[in-house]
């Protein structure tokens, strides 16, 4: 979501006459778009602001802005903590940036704009944005969250849930496709409740409309909340050919007691039922999830249930986090906090368990042919074990199940014409690593060792 917002911020700055630079030292204005989901993200934001403050002592004209969730949460405290900061703008203030920045340029005043409306009018007042990735783009379909999980800061810094009108979403995706984008990821804190509050269409209906956009090849979405994840969306994986076979379905814990204390509003059994229904409907589906370890009061027995759930489900990938207290989240006041040492131990146990599962899942793909949406040239080798030379012709892309595949394609002019970002290339998987796969394009006449004479590409 921050990537999406950053694109809007950048577009606004370009309209004000700024140009993008990759060199911090020569910038006249720097905006830090922050995240506060965990304590570490907030620490990173402040450490970067420290670096900018030092830069400003050498270049007093530099304008420093802080946006995003840390800005929303801390407001004018940021001006006191980092006196070099000129502008603090909250999560609903992006649309006002084009007014705020000229004021700072003219008057050299310091501004804080962190108003949060109960019923945000989801303006598309900043309709355009700059995108870094020419192939795949994020599209925010809703903002905020009404769920109030007890560990989570999001409802406090992003405000109440509000969905964008489907016509605006379809128009935005249509424009992206016109500019060459092939894949979109629809974003919301709980996409399954899309449109319900406003009486717009359901999320499954929105998927159906996005699916019919000509020229778009792939649709992804995140995040799904298990409590609202219904059969209509489960069926969408089968019904709509562009919806990729991957779901990110955060479970957070395998213990009903902890799920209840987290206010997640589902049980372990219900989660397992959704997984079965998913796999019954779409056997190829890849399932990933989020886990929080060391939630206040999480006993050894609760944690054992989480490990058991991970073992039972065999996720394709997991994001695991140690619990951290967040401002205004009720769990701050929960008793029986878990020590940092114990949280680290539990995190390691989850990661070690999952690493084996991921490796096995990746290994099982060796020999299969996968359609890869080419994203670009890979900057680094996929694994230390891979002995292939680093070359500008090492490409990278993803399977529909969201697994990264790197592949080699020799660098001659004729061969380069076969593969380019946005192309779907069929690739035979040859090697599996912990976080990626190695493949060989099949059916490209000029490729090294590939199959000859096949149709080259399939979407
Ligand atoms: N809306 C999404 C989650 C967004 S936050 C959902 O409901 O699934 C992304 C992930 O950060 C969460 O799934 C959770 O695993 C993690 N997270 C959120 N708050 C946290 C906290 N206080 N400590 C540790 N991890 C946290
Ligand atoms: Fe946070 Fe829960 Fe909302 Fe996700 S659903 S953003 S975890 S409050």
Residue 386 pLDDT greater than 70, yes or no: no
Has residue 335 got a pLDDT over 90? Answer: yes
Which of 218, 214, 191 has its CA nearest to residue 136?
218
State which H helix or E strand residue 397 sits in: strand 394-398
Mark 159-171 as b/e (b = at least 16 C-beta within 10 Å): bebbbbebeebbe
Roughly how many angstroms between the first and final C-alpha of the chain, as a whole number? 27
Predicted pLDDT of residue 387: 52
Instruction: Please state, for a pLDDT cut of 90, what percent of the chain lies above it.
Output: 81
Residue 316 has pLDDT above 90, yes or no: yes
Q: Is 459 exposed, middle or buried (0-12, 13-18, 19+ CB in 10 A)?
A: exposed
Closest atom of ligand 1 to CA, residue 145: 1
* Ligand 2 site-directed mutation target among 190, 226, 319, most atoms within 8 Å of CB: 190
Among 381, 441, 433, 440, CA closest to 403: 433
Strand partners, 334: none
Q: What pLDDT is stored for residue 388 in this prediction?
A: 55
User: Residue 255's closest CA among 240, 242, 243, 266?
Assistant: 266
Q: Which pLDDT score is estimated for 296?
A: 98
pLDDT, tens only, 3-43:
989 999 999 999 999 999 999 999 999 999 999 999 999 99
Residue nearest to atom 1 of ligand 2 (CA): 152
Average pLDDT over residues 279-306: 97
Residue 455: the pLDDT is: 29
Q: Candidates 72, 143, 146, 155: which one to mutate for ligand 2, based on the most atoms within 8 Å of Cβ?
A: 155
Whether 123 shows a pLDDT value over 60: the answer reads no
Nearest Cα residue to atom 10 of ligand 1:
290
Task: Fill in the DSSP letter of residue 443.
Answer: S
Would the CB of 38 count as within 6 Å of ligand 1?
A: yes
Mean pLDDT of the region 392-402:
87
Please say whether the beta carbons of 155 and 145 come within 8 A. Answer: yes
Ligand nearest to the CA of 264: 2
pTM for the full predicted model: 0.90
Distance separating alpha carbons of residues 452 and 450, to the nearest angstrom: 6
């Amino acid at each position: 979501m921050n990537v999406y917002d950053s694109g809007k911020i950048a577009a606004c700055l370009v309209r004000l006459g700024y140009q993008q630079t990759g060199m911090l030292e020569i910038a006249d204005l720097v905006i830090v778009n922050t995240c506060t989901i965990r304590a570490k993200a907030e620490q990173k934001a402040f450490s970067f602001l420290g670096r900018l403050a030092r830069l400003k002592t050498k270049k007093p004209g530099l304008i420093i802005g802080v946006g995003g969730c840390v800005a929303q949460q801390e407001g004018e405290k940021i001006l006191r903590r980092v006196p070099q900061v000129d502008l603090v703008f909250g999560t609903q203030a992006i649309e006002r940036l084009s007014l705020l920045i000229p004021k700072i340029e003219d008057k050299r005043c310091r501004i804080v704009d962190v108003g949060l409306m109960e019923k945000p009018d989801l303006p598309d007042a900043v309709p355009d944005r700059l995108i870094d990735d020419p192939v795949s783009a994020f599209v925010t379909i809703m903002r905020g969250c009404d769920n109030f999980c007890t560990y989570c800061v999001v409802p406090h810094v992003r405000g109440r849930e509000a969905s964008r009108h489907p016509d605006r979403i379809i128009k935005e995706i249509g424009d992206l496709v016109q500019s060459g984008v092939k894949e979109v990821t629809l974003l919301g804190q709980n996409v399954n409740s899309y449109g319900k509050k406003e009486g717009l269409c359901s999320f499954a209906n929105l998927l159906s409309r996005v699916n019919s956009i000509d020229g778009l090849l792939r649709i992804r979405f995140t995040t799904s909340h298990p409590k609202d994840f219904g059969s209509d969306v489960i069926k969408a994986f089968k019904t709509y050919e562009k919806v990729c076979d991957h779901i990110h379905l955060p479970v957070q814990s395998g213990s009903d007691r902890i799920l209840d204390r987290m206010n997640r509003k589902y049980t372990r059994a219900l989660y397992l039922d959704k997984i079965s229904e998913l796999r019954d409907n779409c056997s190829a589906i890849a399932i990933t999830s989020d886990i929080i370890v060391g939630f206040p009061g999480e006993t050894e027995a609760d944690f054992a249930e989480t490990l058991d759930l991970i073992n039972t489900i065999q996720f394709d990938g997991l994001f695991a986090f140690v619990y951290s207290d967040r401002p205004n989240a009720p769990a701050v006041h929960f008793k029986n906090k878990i020590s940092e040492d114990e949280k680290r131990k539990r995190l390691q146990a989850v990661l070690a368990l999952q690493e084996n599962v991921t490796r096995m899942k990746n290994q099982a793909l060796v020999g299969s042919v996968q359609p890869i949406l080419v994203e670009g040239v890979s900057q680094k080798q996929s694994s230390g074990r891979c002995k292939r030379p680093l070359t500008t012709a090492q490409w990278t892309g993803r399977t529909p199940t969201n697994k990264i595949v790197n592949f080699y394609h020799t660098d001659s002019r004729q061969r380069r014409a076969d593969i380019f970002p946005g192309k779907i290339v069929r690739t035979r998987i040859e090697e599996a690593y912990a976080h990626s796969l190695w493949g060989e394009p099949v059916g490209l006449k000029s490729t090294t060792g590939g199959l000859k004479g096949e149709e080259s590409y399939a979407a």
